[in-house]
Every structure is written in C-alpha cells, then in structure tokens.
Amino acid sequence: MAKMIFVNLPVSDLARSTAFYQAIGAEKNPQFSDDTGSCMVFSDTIYVMLLTHAKYRQFTSKKIADAKATSQVLLCLSADSRNAVDDMVGKAQGAGGGADPGPKQDYGFMYGRSFEDPDGHHWEVMWMDVAAATAAQPASA
C-alpha cells in the first residue's frame, strides 16, 4: 500500500475554506466531513483536513498560529505540467487566495509557483521533468 498523507489545517471559516479547496481541484469527501471539518481529497494518497479552530484544538494544546503572520510549514503539490502549475495558482487567486507569496522558480526542467489559502497557509505547486532533472545531475564516481 502506498503511504498516504493527511495534512490538518486550522481554518477560521470552514465553508469559505472548503469552497476554496474545491475551486483549486480538491474534492470534498462527505464521509469524513461534518460541521467541524472538511476532508478534501487531492488524490488517492493526499488528503487535507480543514478543521475549525475548536476541532483543531482537540488535537493539540499549543496555540494556533496565525498563518498570515507567521510561517510554520510550506506545503507542496506536484503538477503534471507548467501550465497546470499556472492554472492552479490562477484558480487559487480567483477563489480568494493570494498568488505568488514566494518567488517563482524556473529552472527549465523544474517550474514552481505558490499561493496562500484564505487563512494564509502557504502552498507551492511544482512541475518537474524527471528525465531532464536526472540528466542534469553529475554522475557519481
């Protein structure tokens, strides 16, 4: 079985955040969603749990960081093409997120941009031509 990742994010407005993640391509799984959280599915192995602050506090006693003011984590999703990177960032901006809070990255064989969701969580979107990236690596002795 492939490893899976479940990213848990505290959100200030569950409905707004759910709509945002649907706009950028995630599907809501109603089986694991309720009025305290939305299970957003990007793929068979990538899930984002959007949790109200009250629900998030059930998992930690630490203060919830204000992602608009501080950075704790940079999340990155892969994309199938350079155009798919631009498309997702455009969708994020159109759905109320911020485009390119970090620098654009263009190395020819690798291309990336970023966005922030309405709560300030920083996401990168990256495309890489694996064959070109491998060819660019020096041979080991």
CA dist 70 and 119 (Å) reads 11
Tell me the residue ranges of DSSP E strands in 1-106: 5-11, 27-34, 37-41, 46-52, 74-78, 98-99, 105-106
Q: Is the pTM of this model over 0.85?
A: yes
CA dist 39 and 46 (Å) reads 10
Residue-by-residue pLDDT tens, the chain, 141 positions: 889 999 999 999 999 999 999 999 999 999 999 999 999 999 999 999 999 999 999 999 999 999 999 998 999 999 999 999 999 999 999 999 999 999 999 999 999 999 999 999 999 999 999 887 777 666 554
Provide the 10 A C-beta neighbour count for residue 7.
15
Residue 91 is encoded by which pair of tokens? Answer: 């969708």
Please report the domains of the chain, with CATH numbers, ordered by start residue. 1-64 (3.10.180.10), 66-141 (3.10.180.10)
